[in-house]
Amino acid sequence: MKKLCAVVLVLMLAAGMVFAAGAREEAAPTIDLQTATWEEIVETAQAQGQVTFYSWYFPDYFREAAADFERQYGIKVNLVIGDQTANFNKVISEKDRPVGTVDAMIVGGQWVKTTMDLDLFYGPIKDIIPDADQLAPSLWIVQEGVLTHGYLAPFHRNQTGILYDPQRVSNPPQTFAELEAWIDANPKLFGFNDPSRGGSGQSFVHTVIKHTTGGLEKYVGDTEVVPEKVANWDLAWEWFNDRKDKLTFTVSNNDSIIRINDGEMAMTFGWDDNVQDMMNRGNIFTRAQMYIPEMGAAGGGDTMGILKNAPNKAAAAVFIAHITSKEQQIKKFEMLGAYPSRIDIPIEGTLLTEEDRENNALAWFPAPYKDYMIAEFVRNVLMTQ
């Protein structure tokens, strides 16, 4: 009996602790961002006193940007550099709560569709951010084939291209025919990642579809997959299956770059910002070179959004304005060599030349085609080994 009483007592205590532990923080001051002037927003932000921002890369840049922000506005930044998936899991898990814990975050290409479908972000914010028109205009409208309606502010632009080791590739291919010839002559030395695990592999499959099934123009503006337009995609799958034993498949964007560094491959499709970041930190040899071939390669960018249930929306808006300011975008460019989202910054010394970007960069076909492409690639190429 004594034991029983003890057990019950312990349980009650535990249950009591469970419910007593959750004390909610009081609500921060708010303001309607859509109608307020910028001065009022800054004032409210300062009254809110803090902002919580999530990213999964560039800890060095964001920490310095946060320090600048605190100096300039007196608003504290809670910066969390997490993992891409974990960041989105967190905001999705909190999406039904009236007030969440995250104010603003970086949004990568892979997650745009999910976040727009789940309606996670507050907006549109294009008319709130002061320098909005100086940021890549196309990225305000569409990110990796998904319409974003001005909800997501461009943070930086990135671009896929061919990364190669100049010691082993003397005459890198420009056209699709040249690439085919190169792969035939150098089996296994060209590779790309499984498109279900990273954007650079998706970009390569995208380019192959462009060349084997008659261009990308026919897909523009579609909101769902039109069966007649994808009827001849088996030509693309045939292309892959014909040279399957001459291609190397990798498991992620970074894995492709690592295998160039390791010497297993000599040429791959990669993201320029990824390559630059890994180069900065000694993860790939500095002699590596990158270009956008004439056959074309897709590009995109990462954006920032304010969460719908952000506790400090005004401070989040001011922080996004700070990150997209000319001064900060230049600082980011100088620190990391990553391509800025602002269009009023002179750019020199990046991996990819401006001519390449102008002439050879492709826009993704609409997102439904991309999903379809990945699923069909798995089914028709990977499954049939």
Partner 1 sequence: MEENKHTLLHYLMLLPGVGFILMFIGSSIFLTLAQSFGLFSITGRSAFTLSNWAAIIQARESVDSLMFSLKMGILSSIGTVLFAFPLALFFRKGGAGKGMLGSIIKVPLFIPALVAAFLIVNLISYHGLVNSVLLRLNIIQQPMRMLNDRFGWGVVFIQIWKNLPFVLLILMASIASIRDDTIDAAKNLGAGYWSILFRIFVPLAMPGILVSMILMFIKAFGDFPIFSVAGPIYPAAISVRMHIMATLYQEWDQAAVLGVIIIVTTFFVIWAYSRFAELVQGEE
Partner 2 sequence: MRVRAEQQKTPLHVLQERRRRRFYLMLTLFFVIVQLIWVGIPILMAVMWSLVDPKNPWSFPNMFPPSFSFAQWEYVFKYTNIARALRTSYSIAPLAVLLSFVLSLPTDYIMGRKKIPGKKIFMLVVLLPIIMPGMVVALFLSRVFANFGLSQSFFGLVLAHTLMGMPYMIRVLTTSFQSIPQDVIDAAENLGATTFVKIKDIFLPMIRPGLLAGMIFAFIVSIEEFNLTFIIGTPTFETIPTILFSFMGYNFIRTNASVVALIMMTPNIIMLFVVERFLKSDYLAASLGKM
- Residue 212 makes contact with partner 2 by CB under 8 A: no
DSSP secondary structure string for all residues of 303-361: EEEEETT-TTHHHHHHHHHHHTSHHHHHHHHHHH-PPBSBSSS---S-SS-HHHHHHHE
Contact string (CB under 8 A) for partner 1, positions 14-33, x = contact: x-------------------
Of the two residues 18 and 220, which places its CB atom closer to partner 2 in the complex?
18
Among 30, 46, 241, 261, which residue sits at the site for partner 2 (rule: CB under 8 A)? Answer: 261
Residues 6+ away with beta carbon under 8 Å from 56: 81, 82, 83, 84, 86, 87, 106, 108
- Residue 385 makes contact with partner 1 by CB under 8 A: yes
Residues 6+ away with beta carbon under 8 Å from 301: 109, 136, 139, 143, 154, 155, 156, 157, 158, 341
Q: According to CB under 8 A, which residues from 278 to 297 bind partner 2?
A: 278-286
- Residue 4 makes contact with partner 1 by CB under 8 A: yes
Strands 247-250 and 153-164: unpaired
Q: Which region among 110-118, 158-166, 203-211, 280-288 touches partner 1 (by CB under 8 A)?
A: 110-118
- Residue 225 makes contact with partner 1 by CB under 8 A: no
- Residue 380 makes contact with partner 1 by CB under 8 A: no
Among 114, 167, 175, 359, which residue sits at the site for partner 1 (rule: CB under 8 A)? Answer: 114
Per the omega criterion (within 30 degrees of 0), is the bond before 124 cis?
yes
Pair of tokens at residue 214: 């008659």
* Size of the residue set binding partner 2 (CB under 8 A): 51
Contact string (CB under 8 A) for partner 1, positions 350-379, x = contact: ---------------------x--xx--xx
- In 3-state terms, what secondary structure has residue 110? helix
Q: Which region among 10-18, 208-216, 229-237, 303-311 touches partner 1 (by CB under 8 A)?
A: 10-18
- In 3-state terms, what secondary structure has residue 186? coil
CA distance 316 to 53: 8
Q: Which region among 36-44, 85-93, 212-220, 329-337 touches partner 1 (by CB under 8 A)?
A: 85-93
Q: According to CB under 8 A, which residues from 272 to 331 bind partner 1?
A: none
| Closest separation in Å from C-beta 103 to partner 2 | 9
Is the CB of residue 367 less than 8 Å from the CB of residue 302?
no
> For residue 204, what is the enclosing H or E element?
helix 199-212
Of the two residues 52 and 325, which places its CB atom closer to partner 2 in the complex?
52
- In 3-state terms, what secondary structure has residue 33? coil
CA distance 207 to 225: 18
| Closest separation in Å from C-beta 212 to partner 2 | 30
Of the two residues 235 and 258, which places its CB atom closer to partner 2 in the complex?
258
CA distance 277 to 336: 7
| Closest separation in Å from C-beta 99 to partner 2 | 11
Contact string (CB under 8 A) for partner 2, positions 12-51, x = contact: -----xxx-xxxx---------------------------
- Residue 92 makes contact with partner 1 by CB under 8 A: yes
Strands 104-107 and 297-307: antiparallel
Pair of tokens at residue 77: 């930044």
- Residue 10 makes contact with partner 1 by CB under 8 A: yes
DSSP secondary structure string for all residues of 130-147: TTGGGB-HHHHHEETTEE
**The dihedral sign for the CA sequence 346, 352, 356, 357:** negative
Is the CB of residue 46 less than 8 Å from the CB of residue 70?
no
Pair of tokens at residue 262: 């390791």
356 binds, among partner 2, partner 1, none (CB under 5 to 8 A by kind): none
Q: According to CB under 8 A, which residues from 84 to 103 bind partner 2?
A: 84-86, 89-90, 92-94, 96-97, 101-102
Of the two residues 77 and 236, which places its CB atom closer to partner 1 in the complex?
236
Residues that bind partner 2 (CB under 8 A): 7, 17-19, 21-24, 52, 54, 56-57, 59-60, 63, 78, 80-86, 89-90, 92-94, 96-97, 101-102, 108, 252, 254-255, 258, 261-263, 274, 277-286
Residues that bind partner 1 (CB under 8 A): 3-4, 7-8, 10-11, 14, 85, 88, 92, 110-111, 113-114, 117-118, 188, 194, 196-197, 248-252, 259, 262-264, 371, 374-375, 378-379, 382-383, 385
